[in-house]
Amino acid sequence: MAESADKPRWRRWLRWLVLLVLALVCARIIVGLVGSIDWGTVREALGHLALWQLPVLVLAVFFRQVFNAAPLAIFIPGLGLPRAVVNDQASILMCTIAPPPSDLVIRVTMFKSWGVEVSRALAGVVMNTVSFYITRWYAPVIGFVLVLYDRFDQTFGWAALVGGLSAAALLVVVRVIASGEQAARWVGSAAGRIVRRVRSAVDPDAWADAVSRFRGHVRSKLRTGLPRSLLALLVMMVCDAFVLVLAIRFVDVSGGALPTVEIVAAYMVTYPLTMFPVFGIGILDAAALAIMVGYAGVSYESYLIAALVVWRIVTIGTPLALGAIALLLWRRMRPVGEALSESG
């Protein structure tokens, strides 16, 4: 039994490592296409950073994390935004330092300690994930629209087409599930049959039951909850892009050299690459760098690399620090019932 339990864990780690190596290899190829890196200029660009600018970047990331957790508060009755943020940050920390399903374990443990019904909470976690995937795929559409003000970029156009179709497909699936129990069971069964082709242990009937229960938990929230979640996650992406803009300005790349709209467009069109490990580290950075260098010129490459390094440090380091703080705050937070009775 121990052997069979360890095997999936090793497979998960191996998959994660293969994807990370693939991302870094792709990043190296893309950067090589852009041009040789002057690391001396990168260090010089980092020297433009002032001490007061770091708290500004961290604060912007904090707001990003708040909006990132908002769908949990929307889809889990009684949870509230503070608990949603604490739960989300702790989950991010656990999935970074330990293999899956450590992030789910800490989520469930927190939900139980707060008196939140676990099945409803997990349905909310699923909707949080679904909302994020829809957001991830409609981001290139925003990037494409942003550059239309002065040019038509065919590469952006293809990214927008693929992303838009993917986001629309997810929305259709959610709509079908919400339309009725039979439709929900059909979606679950069909998904189970597809997955069983690669994992023979999957039971399509069990998947149908699970999707039906999921629909029962979230159907009352879907009509108003999904649009609110997508809006919150759009603001999350804007906050993240704002951190990148600030990092680029802080290393002394002016708006004349690289306008803000082009920075945000490069970020949005490459956002689907966050599907790779550690928020797409390496491959997203290299792809965004190639786009921005194409706009600003090769002379700004080292400065943009410096900005991307700063962006990565604050956008990865801040959530981990917030996760550690969340674990300390967790035990101090009262159960949902007590908090509601006090506020009433």
Domain ranges of the chain: 2-34+53-334
Using CA atoms in the order 154, 157, 163, 166, what is the torsion angle rounded to 10 degrees?
Answer: -100
- What was the pLDDT predicted at 323? 94
Residue 59's nearest CA partner among 229, 249, 284, 246 is: 246
Are 143 and 269 in contact by the 8 Å Cβ rule? The answer is yes
pLDDT digits (tens, 9 = 90+) for 235-270: 999 999 999 999 999 998 999 999 999 999 999 999
Residue 201 pLDDT class (50, 70, 90 cuts): low
Q: State yes or no: pLDDT of 320 exceeds 60.
A: yes
pLDDT digits (tens, 9 = 90+) for 176-186: 888 777 887 78
Residue 118's nearest CA partner among 99, 105, 133 is: 105
**Least confidently predicted of 25-34, 96-105, 249-258:** 25-34
Q: What is the pTM of this model?
A: 0.83
- What was the pLDDT predicted at 7? 46
Distance (Å, rounded) from C-alpha 194 to C-alpha 197?
6
Average pLDDT over residues 23-45: 60
Percent of the chain with pLDDT over 70: 83
Residue 97 pLDDT class (50, 70, 90 cuts): confident
Distance (Å, rounded) from C-alpha 95 to C-alpha 92?
5
DSSP string, 241-264: HHHHHHHHHHTT--TTTS-HHHHH
